[in-house]
Chain A
Amino acid sequence: MFVINCPYCGERDQSEFSCGGEAHIVRPKQPTELSDDEWAEYLFMRKNIKGVQFERWNHAHGCRKWFNMVRDTSNDKIHAVYKMGEKPPVI
């Protein structure tokens, strides 16, 4: 059970949050121009890294804001949290 530092509310228990999977996957601006393979890449392909992973989290039972989090999946160490639209930190 992590303690997550919501960029809007501060430190809160993990039970207030939900994880939205890999971060920085941008929805294509012109989906109609993509091939099936390219669209499938966006739609289905997600990394499952043992190590540092960039993730989307939602403070679902709090401010309801989405934000990004850098977490090492091998030891659950949280390296950084940052707001949507902000540049990912170099880890």
Chain B
Amino acid sequence: MTKYRINKTRFVDQTKTVSFTFDGKKYHGFEGDTLASALLSNGIHLIGRSFKYHRPRGIMSCGSEEPNAICQINDNTDLTEPNVRATEIELYEGLKASSQNCWPSLNFDIGGINNLISPFIPAGFYYKTFMWPKSFWKKIYEPLIRLSAGLGKSPTQPDPDIYDHKHEHCDVLVIGGGISGIISAKIAAKNNLKTILIEDKNILGGSTIYQNNKNFIIDNQKSNEWLMNEISELEKLDNLIIKTRTSLAAFHSYNYLLAKENISDHLPLDKKNGSIRQRLWKIRADKVIVAAGAIERPLIFNNNDRPGIILANSVKKYLDFYGVSTGLNNIIFTNNDSAYETAVSLFEKGISVKIVDIRKKSSSNIVKNAEDLGIKIYWNSTVVNTFGYKKIKSIEIMNLSEDGSNVTGNKHKIQCDCLSISGGWTPMVHMHTQSGGKLDFREIDQVFVPTEKSENHINVGSCNGDFELEEIVKNTNNKVKKFLNINEGGFDKISVLCSKESEKKNIWLLPNTISESKTKSFIDFQNDSTAKDIKLALREGFKSIEHVKRYTTTGMATDQGKLSNMHALGIIADTAGVKMGTLGTTTFRPPFTPLTFGAIVGRSVGKFFDIVRKTSIHEWHVQNNAKFENVGQWKRPWYYPINNENLHEAVQRESKAARDSAGILDASTLGKIDIQGSDASEFLNRVYTNAWSKLGIGKCRYGLMLNEDGMVYDDGVTTRLGENHYLMTTTTGGAANVLSKLEDYLQTEWPELDVYLTSVTDHYSTASICGPNSKKILKKLFPNKDFSDEAFPHMSYQNAIIDKIECRIMRISFTGELSYEINVESKYGKSLWENCIAAGEEYKITPYGTETMHLLRAEKGFIIVGQDTDGTMTPIDLQMDWIVSKKKYDFIGKRSLYRSDTIREDRKQLVGLLTDDPNEILEEGAQIVFELDKKPVDMIGHVTSSYFSPNLNKSIALAVVKGGKKMKGQKLFVPMENKNINVTVSDFIFLDKDNKRINA
């Protein structure tokens, strides 16, 4: 046993040695230790450096509230993890931990100079200093701040661990496995309710499980003995699931909760392999009982942050649970009785202990117990300073004045190697407030306690403000029985004896002889915010707690201010002279403790990150070397490079081929909606801007769909298959939204219409063949079909058969070429495509991707909704007046087309742009200006589509320009980073204005 492992307990197996390293040096602990208890057993207190001043810091607590002892775990590039609390990580064989935020080493840290210059870096230092001169920002300030920002190091490789999600339902969820949680779970489970009990530690029992004190007796047993028996009974209950190492992350409305279970973090390295690391539970509970406990408060005095200054109850836990003494010469500094339990425990193990208490006296049993043991108590005293750079060596204490606002008398110096502090207890109300619960402020002991209003959850135990054992046991029993509507049984007849505190006193910021500006009384230990920072914020005019928090960064570190928030509030209240209850609290947001990204995403990583939609022809594209682009969830061929062609070269070749001979495009991804019903024509009249009633059966028509605000929403060709039957196509990305919008109008505005909508996007595959030779290819594919313009004109459709497979052939064109789209049931898509390729071989049919499609349609001046429009373009802005029916009384968006804003003549309008240098290709998104010299520069529009056209042998672009309709021939400029490009406004149809090609 090491010098500091002074006690044998049932929670740490001292027969099983575990070795680990800290900052490269090898140490030993035992199975059951945390990293923190193992380090303390080796006499190591100095764990890290603080964020701003780089002050030496040590372990301060034993749980998730730990602000100082945060480490980097593992040293490899994929599994390394920063900001892990040493108090929470269970020791395993091979654990590698290192300190953070220090250079070159923990013991000698250059950044420590910040501590010396601290008078010059007060709260808001960054906001005040890095304002000017402006030119310093990019080259000097930003790199400097980046250098000093952050605590640990992120992994640089993908996380190889497996994470899991699981849904669970239960009648009762109990959060917290301390004494009140155990009582609650037992009452619920014994009454046939399916119950889940979650506890973030590896064993149940909370702080009572190591409460081995004769002043705390339940049914004539010491409280820890009694609880031990309860736990073994609990484990026998059938309808109770106990989940240890599981911490609640979030408590959402309607009792929907997220909890993270650590499955293999505590296992030795060689046993972790292949196991799931963490599991996120998504629990929907009928009733929730929160028994989250309380966190001990620190005290705020000068230099209260040295290694060796530890919360009193944590000192007790290290001693009674882990068998580790945090020091051999202890002083306890307290404002309440609970720290006396620590004193008695220390004394009983033969460790020297003295007590400094800010109160004048206390008449409780536990204090009498300490006095009877002969423990020296300094009443009505406060610590005014501490000494020892890397570990506390001594303290100075003084007497308090009558009202506690000042110190009197002489300084008295006392040697020590550990200072245990206790400022009382803060109920963990996080869960309650996350679920929407409100808080009341209780003056007598200065705590926020839950206001019970919900029918679906209650708070019990110390998170509800019940701090004494007797009230915890009895109130929990009564509340839970009432909450679950249980009359019989429970713990009605239990007898509880405990020490009761009657003298209470709290001073948020303890007085000192030296002026505040010369003290360092830390409130937020991790972010290095001190009491004087809070006061400075108040002097500078910040009043709201939310503003003070952000200005001083109090409570904004990885511990989320679990130890600091109450003191910040208290000091604000005292300084501003208001009641603390009126200030409210900052918002407690989930997660309660940090969650790994792995736990959040679960199995949705890599190829499972999002759904991938592939057409039935996808395999062919892959085999033919297609590069793909994502369009929504679809994978669409982007271009098909041959012999190391780049994008530009491939697109030039593909588009030339499509215009000169024949090209083929997989158009299966276009949205397809089957519309049927006796009012189908009327429905289309209402949703499209043009008229549909007179469209003959077998004909196709292009339609433009607006939002009710008059802005273009979607477009596509719709074919009339029968009297009451249409097939609508939509853009690839817009399909789901269009269907949803149409359903909305049908169900809510026009329920009288007899119309049925079915999404058939995935049902059909489409091969689109275009080019002057397309008709010949179609004739080869369908020898019996008459493809003459008379028999099969542009904008019409016919049924046909190929290899016994039924097809719909639409003669429609998005490229401006003679073009046919052949639709078959999806399962035949690939065979159809291969037939087309074979038939087209003699015409060198060229498969082309989306990029070529975009180029071809831009040559023809066809818009792409979402590329040339952005939700602020009307059809009039797009110079598509021809498609807006003047005769129809109403359609979606019609009224908006003559609002005062939409009829403005200086709206951005679609135009073509030609660069003066025909080889210069504009960048899509580039801004367009009218005058180069004017400052500030007026940006009158931007480029929406831009390509080099191989068919016209020049650069072409579409753009939206303010008042562009009237600007034809106008010279404009496109300023780029290193040059200005001269452009001229042109017609936006660049090729074949009189449609000779389509009708070829």
Contacts and interface: CB of A to CB of B under 8 A. Distances in A.
Contact of A31 (B253, B709, B740, B894): B894
Contacts of A36: 899-900
Interface string B885-899: 000011000111001
A56 to B, nearest CB: 7
Contact of B895 (A20, A34, A84): A34
B253 A39 contact: no
A85 B436 contact: no
A26 B890 CA distance: 15
B284 A66 contact: no
Given A31-B895, A43-B708, A66 B900 contact: no
B708 to A, nearest CB: 6
B890 A32 contact: yes
A72 to B, nearest CB: 11
A2 B740 CA distance: 22
Nearest to B454: A75
Nearest to A29: B890
B744 A39 contact: no
Contacts of B900: 36
B436 A84 contact: no
Contact of B749 (A27, A34, A58): A27
Interface in B718-758: 740, 743-744, 747-749, 751
Nearest to A1: B256
A58 B890 contact: no
Interface residues of B, number: 22
A27 B749 CA distance: 7
B252 interface: yes
A58 B436 CA distance: 25
Contacts of A30: 890
B765 to A, nearest CB: 25
Given A58-B744, A65-B747, A76-B436, A2 B895 contact: no
Nearest to B257: A1
A29 B749 CA distance: 10
Contact of A66 (B256, B748, B895): B748
A60 B740 contact: yes
Nearest to A31: B895
A32 B890 CA distance: 8
A8 to B, nearest CB: 11
A56 B747 CA distance: 12
A29 to B, nearest CB: 9
B252 A85 contact: no
A3 B899 contact: no
Contacts of B740: 58, 60
A3 B284 contact: yes
Given A32-B889, A32-B890, A39 B896 contact: yes
B483 interface: no
Interface in A7-54: 13-14, 20, 26-27, 30-32, 34, 36, 39-40, 43
Given A27-B749, A32-B895, A84-B747, A1 B254 contact: yes
Nearest to B744: A66
A76 B749 contact: no
A40 to B, nearest CB: 7
A2 B751 CA distance: 28
A12 B254 CA distance: 12
Nearest to B710: A43
B747 A75 contact: no
Contacts of A56: 748
Nearest to B757: A64
B747 A66 contact: yes
Nearest to A28: B895
A8 B253 CA distance: 23
A76 B253 contact: yes
Contact of B252 (A1, A26, A27, A40): A1
A58 B745 CA distance: 12
Contacts of B749: 26-27
Contacts of A65: 747
Contacts of A3: 254, 284
A64 B895 contact: no
Contacts of A40: 899
A36 B744 CA distance: 24
Nearest to B707: A43
Contacts of B895: 31-32, 34, 39
A26 B708 CA distance: 13
A59 B789 CA distance: 47
Contacts of B899: 36, 39-40
B436 A75 contact: yes
A43 B241 CA distance: 53
Nearest to A67: B747
Contact of A2 (B254, B743, B748): B254
A66 B743 contact: yes
A85 B890 contact: no
Contacts of B744: 20, 58, 66
Contacts of A84: 747-748, 751
Interface string B33-50: 000000000000000000
A14 B744 CA distance: 19
A56 B749 CA distance: 12
Nearest to A60: B740
Give the one of A1, A2, A64, A65 with max B CB within 10 A.
A1
A43 B254 contact: no
Contacts of A26: 749
A60 to B, nearest CB: 7
A10 B284 CA distance: 16
Nearest to B453: A75
B751 A85 contact: yes
24 contacts: A1-B256, A2-B253, A2-B254, A3-B254, A3-B284, A13-B284, A26-B749, A27-B708, A31-B890, A31-B895, A32-B889, A32-B890, A32-B895, A36-B899, A36-B900, A39-B895, A40-B899, A64-B743, A66-B743, A66-B747, A66-B748, A75-B436, A84-B747, A85-B751
Interface of B: 252-254, 256, 284, 436, 708-709, 740, 743-744, 747-749, 751, 889-890, 894-896, 899-900
Given A34-B895, A39-B896, A84-B748, 12 more contacts: A2-B253, A20-B744, A31-B890, A36-B899, A39-B899, A56-B748, A58-B740, A58-B743, A58-B744, A66-B743, A66-B747, A66-B748
